[in-house]
Amino acid sequence: MKRSMAAVLGAAAAMTLVLAGCSGDDTSDAAADASTLTLAGWSLATTPEFKTLADGFHAANPGITVQLKEYDAANYDTQMIADLAAGKAPDIYVQKTLKNFYTYQNGRQLLDVSDVAAQLGDKAGGLANYQIDGKTYAIPYRQDSWVLFYNKALFDKAGVAHPDGSWTWDDYASTSKQLTTKLKAAGSPALGDYQHLWQSTVQGFALAQTPGADLQSGDFGYLKPYYTRALDLQQAGAQVTFGDATTNNLTYQAQFGKQRAAMMTMGTWYIATLLKQQAGGDADVFEWGIAPAPQPTAATAGTGNTPLTFADPTGLGINPKIGKGKVDAAKAFLAYAAGEQGAKSLAGIGITPADTAAVADTFFTLKGVPTDKVSRFAFASHETKPENPVSKYTTALQNILADLHTAVMSGSKDINTAIAEAQTRAANEVLNK
């Protein structure tokens, strides 16, 4: 049954009044229970979305305060699983990666929020990824897509034409090498591109852009051309090596924000971070743009086509151990975050919300957001496939592929050997269970 936000909050208020009639002690406990929610987040100093949602919800609903609980970004799921087991997890927690959604849901660590999903309908992009057996267990508030960030100033310094939306991966690789050579000649220490340490930077594109690729099949041959290209760029000196990036604990924010790389593929969530860091002095001030992610062939390249890319939605789920007096308020928060009000508040800081239709005309009015035609096209036009298709096998398979990524990018194994070993492990350790 669909319920409006007012109805949800009204139910919460009614429940508080009922509980208030029990006893003096119960009255204070119930009021406190219903008026304060806790919300998980990470890297709060550089990731403003959590505070933005908490403050916006409180402004719309002054009787409810949302308190943030910070987790380590790199160990978020490990810490969250431990807190859930210990009964210390917050009321509402983020599904940071779709890879682990099945684990949380199968472990009965998520409340059924199908009523919130029914209220939102098809406005929240990525909602289907959080549905199992006809029920919904999390609500997406973000739907990012991976694009190509580029430094217009460094392109101009090197005398290289800006991305025009038509690039294939071959164009990307040749341009990165060209940029490296020309920037070095111009006295700049910047390299052509930066590829971050995550397996996503290679495997996400390979899965999304290769016809017939299927993570659950256990056949990982589709990865080979993507790793071959990445290794070639490392060997050519056009990007920092995986070993150097690991040893020196490099961050993608500093590599692009401090103009150490002219290009970088990254999710659209980085727009908000870059805007904030440029405004606060943590990143250099320079003109930048976004372009569609490079494509495998010309068939999906160009502004007359729909580029293929990837990214998982980011959702919000409710801890099933939440106090009973908080449930309706927590559901109201999910509805707010995924609805038009939440979408506009997120777009106001450069975040791509799940309800992109609500912000289509306002996102590019933000100070610092590039407004050229290619940037607008890259933001609005793409087919975004999930990096982690929901399945009981996904987490285990991705863990195997994480080992492959480290082995190949560090040079400890060649790509053919690594793929063969990963396929054997997938068959023996995962898919036969």
Per-residue confidence (pLDDT) for residue 361, from 0 to 100: 74
**pLDDT at site 112:** 98
The answer to whether residues 167 and 291 touch, using CB atoms and an 8 Å cutoff, is yes
Kindly tell me the number of DSSP H helices and DSSP E strands found in the chain: 18, 13
Distance, CA of 129 to CA of 122 (rounded, Å): 12
Average pLDDT per 10 consecutive residues for the chain, totaling 433 residues? 35 29 36 80 91 97 97 96 97 94 95 95 80 95 95 98 98 98 97 98 98 97 98 98 97 98 96 92 97 97 96 96 95 96 90 81 88 93 92 94 98 98 98 88
Q: What is the reported pLDDT for 125?
A: 72
Distance CA 408, CA 171 (A): 23
Q: Which domains, ranges and CATH numbers included, belong to the chain?
A: 5-144+312-359 (3.40.190.10), 146-309+379-430 (3.40.190.10)
- Residue 22: the pLDDT is 35
Question: If DSSP codes are grouped into helix, strand and coil, which group holds residue 41?
Answer: strand
Model pTM?
0.80
Strands 288-292 and 146-151: antiparallel
How many other C-beta atoms are found inside a 10 Å radius of the C-beta of residue 351?
A: 27
| Whole-number pLDDT of residue 11 | 34
**Tokens found for residue 342:** 């939440």
Please give the pLDDT value at position 33.
Answer: 66
pLDDT at 24: 34
Q: Quick count: other Cβ atoms within 10 Å of Cβ 377?
A: 18
Q: What sign does the CA torsion over 430, 320, 114, 44 have?
A: negative
